[in-house]
Amino acid sequence: MSLSVVIVTFNSADVVAHALQSIPQGHEIIVVDNASGDDSARIAETMRARVLRLGENLGFGTACNRGAAVASHDGILFLNPDARLRPDTLDLLECAMGAASEAGAFVPRLIHPDGWEHFQGRNPFVDRRAWVHEAPQSDCDVPMGIGAALLVRKDVFERLGGFDESIFLFFEDVDLSARIINAGYTIRYVHDAAVDHMIGASSGKGDDLLEFKNYHFQRALLQMDRKYGRRENRGRHIASQLAKLTLAHLCCNRRRVRMARGRLRALRERDR
């Protein structure tokens, strides 16, 4: 059995080659480029990837769906361009997929450059009894998978409608994980499968991008609250962000100013 690997790029030229090099021969590689302004797509085309060039930035989830739509294998691994597969990781994920028929998705360990493992054991949109409070030391079921490296059965992904395309950026993996579990499947954590993740390196840096990301983070959080019937307390959040903005100005912290501006813009929108 082989897997389809879907990578979404947006100005990821500095990192995508390393991600592609880490994928063993024999697996289908699909790169969906979200209208990058750099050489992301061209680099992918030179490295045995099928490249889908989008005319505009449609967001992470929508781009993932475009890639999944043309995937030809039973398992789809969504992989960030700033992630690198360790040896045998795909083999281990494939074995887990064959052994755990009740699982709709599978997640490897995500290791940061400093050795810290990024494990998310809580999902506020599923039953708390499914939460895992410490990083497991063996294979087990978990309440969510992280989109930086997430293997999903193609039939389950299609049955659930893929990623929610109304969410432009952030929380797509949280939402998909909740829908997988609420549909009666499990999400399997595969301890020995590991991925190195240069978190935040996939789409560049800069103050404009920082404000852009914070806007979409807050916007997606509000969307999730509405979707799952959680109470919105927008007034309290606005007051909190205004206080942070004031403090950032007083401290001449430009990055904090841009972060608060992005959050406030999302909170003040009436129609999202």
**Cα 83 vs. chain centroid, distance in angstroms?**
11
Structural contact between residues 111 and 119, judged by C-beta atoms closer than 8 angstroms: no
Which pLDDT belongs to residue 271? Answer: 46
Which pLDDT belongs to residue 207? Answer: 85
Tens of pLDDT along 54-74?
999 999 999 999 999 999 999
Integer Cα distance of 246 and 263 in angstroms: 14
Which pLDDT belongs to residue 216? Answer: 86
Q: Poorest-confidence range of 88-102, 187-201, 256-270?
A: 256-270
Which pLDDT belongs to residue 200? Answer: 61
Mean of the per-residue pLDDT values of the chain:
92
* pLDDT band for position 272 (cuts 50, 70, 90): very low
Residue 146: half-sphere exposure toward Cβ, Cα within 13 Å? 20
Tens of pLDDT along 194-228?
999 987 655 556 888 899 989 989 999 889 988 99
Query: What tokens appear for 222 in the block?
Result: 């509000």
The mean pLDDT of 124-151, rounded to a whole number, is 94
Which pLDDT belongs to residue 1? Answer: 66
Integer Cα distance of 63 and 41 in angstroms: 14
**pTM (2 d.p.):** 0.89
Integer Cα distance of 75 and 270 in angstroms: 39
Which pLDDT belongs to residue 240? Answer: 80
Which pLDDT belongs to residue 269? Answer: 83
Integer Cα distance of 175 and 30 in angstroms: 23
Helix (H) or strand (E) holding 263: helix 254-268
Structural contact between residues 100 and 183, judged by C-beta atoms closer than 8 angstroms: no
Which pLDDT belongs to residue 255? Answer: 85
Q: What domains sit in the chain, N to C, each tagged with a CATH number? A: 4-197 (3.90.550.10), 207-268 (no CATH)
Structural contact between residues 92 and 194, judged by C-beta atoms closer than 8 angstroms: no
* pLDDT band for position 251 (cuts 50, 70, 90): confident
Which pLDDT belongs to residue 270? Answer: 57
The residue that leads in pLDDT, 270 or 8, is 8
Integer Cα distance of 142 and 96 in angstroms: 14
Contacts of residue 1, Cβ cutoff 8 Å, sequence gap at least 6: 73, 74, 75, 94, 97, 98
The 10 Å Cβ neighbour count of residue 38 is 16
* pLDDT band for position 268 (cuts 50, 70, 90): confident
The residue that leads in pLDDT, 42 or 272, is 42
Integer Cα distance of 265 and 167 in angstroms: 16
Integer Cα distance of 150 and 180 in angstroms: 12
Which pLDDT belongs to residue 204? Answer: 56
Asked if pLDDT for residue 27 goes beyond 90, the answer is yes
